[in-house]
Structures are given as C-alpha cells and as structure tokens.
Structure 1
Amino acid sequence: MPTKDVLTSADLTELRQSALGTADPLGIAAELAEAVEQGRLADPADTGRALTLAAEIAETRARLDAALRYADRAVRAYAESTEPDAGFARALHARILFRTGRSDEALAELTALRPLLDSQPDAAAYLSAALEAGGRTDLAEQWLTEAVETALRGRTAEPTAREAAGLLFFLLQQRHRVRRELALPHDQNDNLADRLENELFRTATTTTEPEPVERLFLPRGEFGALLARWPGSVEAYGRDWDEHRARIQRELVRLADSGRVGIGPLRGGLEGLAGHAERTGADPAGTSARAGYAAELAGRGAQLPWPPERNEACWCGSGLKYKKCCLPRARG
C-alpha cells in the first residue's frame, strides 16, 4: 500500500492482511510508527493497533530490536485498556521479550494476563503462543488445563457444541493443540475437544447458507502462493484462480437472490490464513482453518464492495470490467 497522508481503520485492516507479502514489510512497519508519531491516524484510538502491527511485522522479519520498540509503545498506548486487542499487544510484547532473552519479564507480563483465559476467547491462543515462544509449552498446558476445569466446573454433563461455542471451545481447542505438541496421551478433555469440533464442523457443512466461508477470496498472487505452499488446499479453494472466483461469484449471486444485502467477498491473504492456522492449531489447507479464517475476516469487516456496476472494474482485481470478468462466471 502506498504511503497515505491519513491511515484509516480500514487501511490498517488491509495492511494486516497484506503487509508481509509486500517487497518491503519492514518499511511498512516504519511507516506505521511514523504515522503514529506524526498524528496521521484518522482515529487516534488506532494507535495501539498500528504499533502492534508494526511490532508483528518486525518480529516476523527477526528485527527484534525494532519489534521491541514498537511493542513497548503499543503497550503504553493501550495503558489500562481491557479491550481484547490490548491483551494481544501485551502478549506479543512478552513473546518478543522471551526472544530477546528477558524471560523473567516476559513471564511476569503473561502471568498478569492469565486471568483473561477465563473471560476472553482469543486469550487462549495468544497466551499459549507467547509461552511456547519462550519454551514454556508445559506451562501453557497447565494454565489451559486449569482454565478448562474452571469453565467446566459444576456441570453434570458434557456441553453440546452450541453450549461450548466461544470461550470454552477455544480453551479446549488450544489445550488439545498444546498437548499434541507435548506428545501427551489423550484424556477426557481432549476427547471432548474432538467431539465438539466434529459437531461444529457438521453444523457448518449442513447449513443452508454456508457463509462467510464460501465468500473467502484470495487475490491471484495469494491464491497461487497458497496452492504452491499447500497443494492439498485445491479441494477447499479450487483447482485454479478461475474456479476459485467463480465459486465465490456464484455464492454471492445465490445470497443476493435469496434477499441478502450488504454482502461481498471477504478478501484474505496467505499470511493471514497461516497466522490463523498457527493460532488455532488447524491444518492451513483444511476446512476448519478456512472456515475460521473467513469468520475472522467477517468480524474485522474485511469485505469488498459487491456487486460493481457492469462497466466498473471487477471485484476480483483482474483489471477487467465486471461484465467481461466475474459477472458471467455465475452462469458456469
């Protein structure tokens, strides 16, 4: 994304999805920090979010000195905030502290965040990831086990998928993943995690309106990189880009014909999908990661306008007019 005078919340969402695939991601991280310093954020409340993204980019490129500077500033920006993004920023800060050899400080920061396991669904993923980065996967398993036991306390029967959706499901899912990494034997809560995931998958695949997963769209370059990295994803995403966007166009037309409004393709990216799969322990080429990532994009509002006018540029980014590109694909 070229430099802009003002960065909006939508710009930050787009950068999160695409920055790592650009030629100079570290340059984007520096631009984000400069935008904060120069007051170029449309919404000053996005300060912590912009700095957290800068820290993530720098950490991914192993520039830990820069990552720590950005993360320090992100934590200060969130101050006493209790919103979920604040917890993620602090966990990222701890993860970078681990990687720079400051393990005691990192562990103290994560210990202060531990109560979030009992209230915020995302906390299970970002706390366990930070502990694993510090070589404390055993502690992640202990914390998740205790949080699961707290969530299940007082129940006389195992929860259904509907009852467990949300906090309990994410705790069970992350605990199950961590225990696999530790090569621990299955216990009753691992079995429960498997059962709930299967129930949720069956529900998702039998619904008469399978969205947002069927609206997950990858631009041409991202789609090609996906198939190159995970050839097994062909079944979920399509044999080629033409089939991929034709599926999405047909789903959008179907939804529009059923009376739905305000719908559009959910623009994703390879690194976003890989990050979601890493956080959740799902197979990046599988149905679960695809559905979860689509839901995450929908929650962020990462939706492209649809449909364009017949003579406008097509939504898929091909550069062709809509009437010559994806409009006729719904008939295929």
Structure 2
Amino acid sequence: MPTKDVLTSADLTELRRSALGAADPLGIAAELAEAVEQGRLADPDDAGRALTLAAEIAETRARLDAAQRYADRAVQAYRDSSGPDAGFARALHARILFRTGRDDEALAELTELRPLLDSVPDAAAYLSAALEVGGRTELAERWLTEAVQGALRDRGSPAPDAAEETTEAAGTAEPTGQEASGLLFFLLQQRHRVRRELDLPHDQNDNLADRLENELFRSATTAGAEPGPEARLFLPAGEFDALLSRWPDLAEAVGGDWSEHRARVQRELVRLTDSGQLGLGPLRGSIGRLAGYAERTGVDPTTGQARAGYAAELVGQGAQLPWPPERNEACWCGSGSKYKRCCLPRARARSAG
C-alpha cells in the first residue's frame, strides 16, 4: 500500500500496474481516494485518474458500494474535461451502475458518450465493455457497426449496409494498415471482437479487421521492413525502468538502458526527417497503457504486435511530442538538459560508430 506523503503521476502509473496483486488492494483504493481529498497529489489534475483507479480496484474486488462512491467522485473530478480519460471514467461509472441495477442511468450515460466513437480510439473498447456488462452486447455491435461505416465514409471508402456487404460493393478503396492505424483500426478490432462474442458470421468488415491486423503485425516483424510508428514509441525514464524490470527480455527490442532507448527513437526521427517525412515526433507511452492495450486486445504485451498496435493507437490519439526542439531548449526526452547536449548528438554518435 502506498505510504508516500505525496503521490506523483509516476506513482499512479506504478499502482495501476501492481495494485491488484498487492496484499490489500482495497486499502490502496481507499488511500488513493484519501490522497485526493487531502490534496496529496503532486499534480492536482491527477485527481480523476486516482479516483478512477480506486473505482476499478473496488469493482474488481466486488465492493460495488465503494466502487460507486469512487466513480461518482471521478466523474465529478472530470466535470470540466472532455478528454479520453474523462470518457473512460464515465464509462466505468456506467459499468458500475449496471452492476448495481441502475440500468437506465447507465445506458443514458453511455448514450451521451457514444459520439466519442467517432473521435477517440479507446472509446470503442471501454464503451463496448460497459455495454456488455449491462447485457447490451447486441447494442454494442450496432453502435460499432455504425461508427465503422461512418469512418469508412469519412475516408471515401464505400460503407455498405452490414447485412448486404459483398466484396464487389467494397470496390478497391479499402484502407491499408498505415491509413487505418488509428481510430478506424480500433473500431474494426472491437467490432470484430464483439461479433465473435455474439457468434455472428464473418462479414466484409470482419475480414477487413483481420487483414489490417495481419498487415500491421507483418510491418512490425518483417526483417528489413521500414519501421512503423512503434519505432517512435518513447518511454520516460521511470516507465522505461519499470518496463525492463517487468519484461527484461524486451531490452533487445527497446534498448538495454534509457540512454540507448532515447538514441533509438532519436535515430528514427532523424531518419524520417531525412526521408522527407516531416512533422513526426516521439510517441510518449507508458507501461500501464501498453499492458492495458494488450489486455483489451488479447495480445501478449511483450510482442512486436502489441507495441505496433499501441503505437498506432497513440498516433490516433495525437499523442506525439513536439520534435525537434531548438538546440538551446529543453530536450524532448524530459531529462532536463538542453537538446544540444542531450539527444541531439545521440544519433550522430551512433551513426559515426
């Protein structure tokens, strides 16, 4: 159980990873709520995040009374926010409402969140999960189908009615893995999962989901292939150390230490710029979110497929850091040093060696 006077964002990330395996997870949930109430968060904006985690822990331990209290407070903490974390907190709130028999309230809350399917990649997972808890799996499939059709129309692809889909109707404008690596990919993926739960036969969009997943996986694993967005996946120092502590075999894929990790990302950014691909920056990730992505998509978090999919999700969320900074500005990696003395020379040193 945490005993620090002040909880940082990094502490919350570590607790998300480890709390359920602790001796007293409900004690951790209570302390998270107390830290918010007593102003013991290093960043007050983390209040919603801390309360959401407390609600998740209590829900997992079937303490629905406590889960409801924490979720109510989390939604209140996010009252002025419309970001992805706020959406997840409200979907969790609805999920707990379903579990406590307040179905009408839960469905009303999820209906308000439904427009997020058109803009937030994570929404496909947390909205469908909440609807499934409430026994509305068929409704989840309908919402996801309509969102997929809208996303296909937005990119200029035909979006035939699901009941009448044929290969000919799709034409030749189906998206590639790179084109669909954000919102559309995750809509297709979650729709595919939900349809499997309903034991529905494969349709055209199920086939498209399979093809895009295989394409993205091949792009991440084919020897000699140009790296995908996973090559820009960057973990801050604490997150990187936690990753290797949990999965030491990943050192070969992400770097043996934080210095090498940053050098790899810097070299990829330089390579992209040299090839004329401007405006791309590091994709700041976290071990908790990588593990969460792997859990909800059913992939092994240590695989290239997990890193590729998580990085594609970050692209869809617009989560990249500005790059490059000016020579005398703080380095993009968060070390506190000037760029010219930190990551700027890393790619040069490796290239010369």
Name stretches of at least 5 consecutive residues in structure 1 with no aligned partner.
224-240, 307-332
Contact 1:213 1:290 in 2 (8 A): no
User: What stretches of structure 1 move > 3 A for 4+ residues in a row?
Assistant: 206-220, 243-261, 266-269, 281-287, 289-301
Pairwise CA distance, 1:155: 2.1
Q: Which amino acid aligns with 2:75?
A: V
User: Are the counterparts in 2 of residues 128 and 137 from structure 1 also a CA contact under 8 Å?
Assistant: yes
Amino acid at match of 2:181: A
Question: Is contact 1:126-1:279 (8 Å) kept?
Answer: no
- Matched to 2:157, the amino acid is R
Supply the distance in 2 between the matched residues of 1:259 and 1:289 (Cα, whole angstroms): 18
Question: Residue 17 of structure 2 aligns to a residue in which SS?
Answer: helix
Counterpart residue number, 1:137:
137
The percentage of counterpart residues that share the same residue type is 71
Structure 1 partner of 2:297: 280
Tell me: CA distance 1:24–1:292, structure 2 relative to 1, closer, same or farther (3 Å).
farther
User: What residue identity is the alignment partner of 1:155?
Assistant: S
Mapped to 2, the partners of 1:57 and 1:161 lie a distance apart of 35
Residue 289, structure 1, aligned to residue 306, structure 2: yes
- Could you say if the C-alpha distance between residues 282 and 123 of structure 1 is closer, same or farther in structure 2, counting changes exceeding 3 Å? same
C-alpha contact 1:177 1:281 (8 A) present in aligned 2: no
Residue correspondence of structure 1 range 250-289 to structure 2 within 5 A:
250=256, 260=266, 268=287, 273=291, 275-282=292-299, 287-289=304-306
Q: What's the TM-score once normalised by structure 2's chain length?
A: 0.69
5 Å-filtered alignment, 1:79-228, equals: 79-153=79-153, 154-155=156-157, 157-206=173-222, 207=225, 211=231, 212=233, 218=243, 222=246
| 2:290–2:307 Cα contact (<8 Å) kept | no
* Superposed displacement of residue 135, structure 1: 1.4
Task: Give, as a single letter, the amino acid of the residue that structure 1 aligns with 2:294.
Answer: A
CA distance in 1: counterparts of 2:287 and 2:105, whole angstroms: 35
Retained in 2: the 8 A contact 1:268–1:297?
no
* 2:42 maps to 1:39: no
CA contact (8 A) 1:217 1:245 kept: no
How far off is 1:89 after superposition? 0.2
TM superposition shift of 1:141: 0.4
Q: Which amino acid aligns with 1:96?
A: I
Partners of 1:186 and 1:287 in 2: how far apart?
26
Q: For residues 242-253 of structure 1, what are the structure 2 equivalents within 5 Å? A: 245=251, 249-250=255-256
User: Residues of 2 paired with 1:258 and 1:113: CA distance?
Assistant: 38
Question: TM-score, normalised on structure 1?
Answer: 0.73
Aligned residue pair count = 282
CA distance in 2, matches of 1:137, 1:101: 17
Determine if contact 1:78/1:86 at 8 Å carries over to the other structure. Answer: yes
In structure 2, do the counterparts of structure 1 residues 251 and 160 end up closer, same or farther at CA, with 3 Å as the change threshold? farther
C-alpha displacement at 1:133, in angstroms?
1.1
Using the alignment, how far apart are the partners of 2:133 and 2:320 within structure 1? 26
CA contact (8 A) 1:32 1:51 kept: yes
Secondary structure of 1:101's match?
Answer: coil
Q: Distance in 2 between matches of 1:284 and 1:219?
A: 12
- Contact preservation (8 Å) 1:216, 1:268: no
